[in-house]
A = this chain, B = another copy of it.
Amino acid sequence: MRCDVLAVGTELLLGQIVDTNSAWIGEQLAGAGIDTFEHRKVGDNLGRMVKALNELLEEADAVVVCGGLGPTPDDVTREAIAEVMGVELERREDLVEWVSTLFTSRGRDMPANNLRQCDIPVGAEPISNSIGTAPGIRAPIGDEVVYAVPGVPYEMQLMMREHVLPDLLRRAGQQAAIVSRTLKTWGTSESGLAEMIADRVDAQTNPTIAFLARGIEGLSVRLTAKAATPEEAWALIEPEERILRERLGDLVFGVDDETMESVVLDLLRKRGMTLGVAESITGGLVAARLVNTPGTSEVLRGGIVAYMTDVKRSVLGIEAELVVSEECAREMASAGRRLLEADVGIAVTGVAGPEEQDGQPPGTVFFGMAVGDEPAEAVGTHLPGQREMVRQFATISLLNLLRLKLSSLE
């Protein structure tokens, strides 16, 4: 089974928008065990869309067309598919009623243009859109099939998950349910991770096991299983997940949509603890990353960015002679906790570069942590990369240390 992707939009060719949709679709197809060998981008041009579709269908069993389903005259995906099928468009009254109701329920009149979105090639069928006004299209062409999905990423993703991927799997004669579990890790390299589970990767069948490198979000291990029902697929995932978790231990910080910050905030919330941050090298990134997670306001009291050395002394009261040191990180964590009246204080100080500081080379970072009345702790490390990467790695590394600390508490 081979499914290729055609992304449509003149703005994609002009570089006004980067096409992230086809990469997302490619990842989903790979996860579902469906080959994808070619992705194309063309502009909003009927002739070129028809040519691209015909060429792709010469080799692929299915094509996903992404974009060009909007209400304006330059949206011609409907027309292109009709031409490839050799049929006319017909206005579907059921869709007219559905989209009119949608506008009415939002207290708005439907613009006449939106009627175009109710046109479907004869012999094709609409795919329902639960969050937008553009229905998708499923168009059988001989033994092959073309799916049209909206270019708006969120609408596209929902339609792919709910309709297109299950339909592709059915067509492939495969079992219809496909589920996946992503184990998110922080703390080792890709080769280190691969070595720890090499025999499981070699022996993979169903579920499959894939590595995904997510930069400053860490490395993920994704299990994907297929079965007749979701329940049966999850039953295949479960024992393999247990084995991998035993191997990887506390390198695994979360699963699926969890992030390092959401996990840390959950751990604090469960323990009824509040957090204060004192940061130097990261300049506010630690606090900023935490506030992007819903529910932060119950947990995060605030932060102090002590960027210049004398601010560390005047605001935080640091006495350590060297500000890039374990001692300074410990004092910063304690001061953050005390000044912000938090249960837990975390801190980071270091050298982003390009110059060295306190005789320490760029990439040198010290993390501090103060929990309750326990003596503050600190640990140092050396992070690779340029200024911006050092800052980002320092941020997630500090949150990971906090995660490990909180997990170790009763």
Contacts and interface: CB of A to CB of B under 8 A. Distances in A.
A356 interface: no
A307 B315 contact: no
Interface string A102-129: 0000000000000000000000000000
A285 interface: yes
A52 B38 contact: yes
Interface string A275-307: 001010011111110111010110011111111
Contacts of A13: 26, 30, 36-39
A304 B305 contact: yes
Given A22-B41, A45-B37, A48-B37, A307 B311 contact: no
A28 B25 CA distance: 27
A18 to B, nearest CB: 4
A18 B18 contact: yes
Q: How large is the interface on A (under 10, 10 to 19, 20 to 34, 35 or more residues)?
A: 35 or more
Interface in A3-23: 12-20, 22-23
B288 A296 contact: no
A99 interface: no
Given A305-B277, A308-B301, A27 B55 contact: no
A205 interface: no
Nearest to A304: B304
Nearest to A7: B39
A250 B146 CA distance: 50
Contact of A307 (B24, B291, B352): B291
Contacts of A296: 283, 307
Interface in A77-96: none
Secondary structure at the A interface, as helix, strand, loop or mixed, is mixed
A146 to B, nearest CB: 18
Nearest to A280: B302
B291 A288 contact: no
A285 B213 CA distance: 26
A287 B297 contact: no
Given A14-B30, A55-B55, A302 B311 contact: yes
A43 to B, nearest CB: 6
Contact of A287 (B12, B283, B290): B283
A291 B55 CA distance: 50
B42 A38 contact: yes
A307 B303 contact: yes
B302 A305 contact: yes
A388 interface: yes
Given A284-B288, A300-B307, 5 more contacts: A15-B27, A19-B19, A283-B296, A296-B307, A302-B304
Q: Which 3 pairs, one residue from A and one from B, show the smallest C-beta to C-beta distance?
A: A15-B27, A283-B291, A284-B284
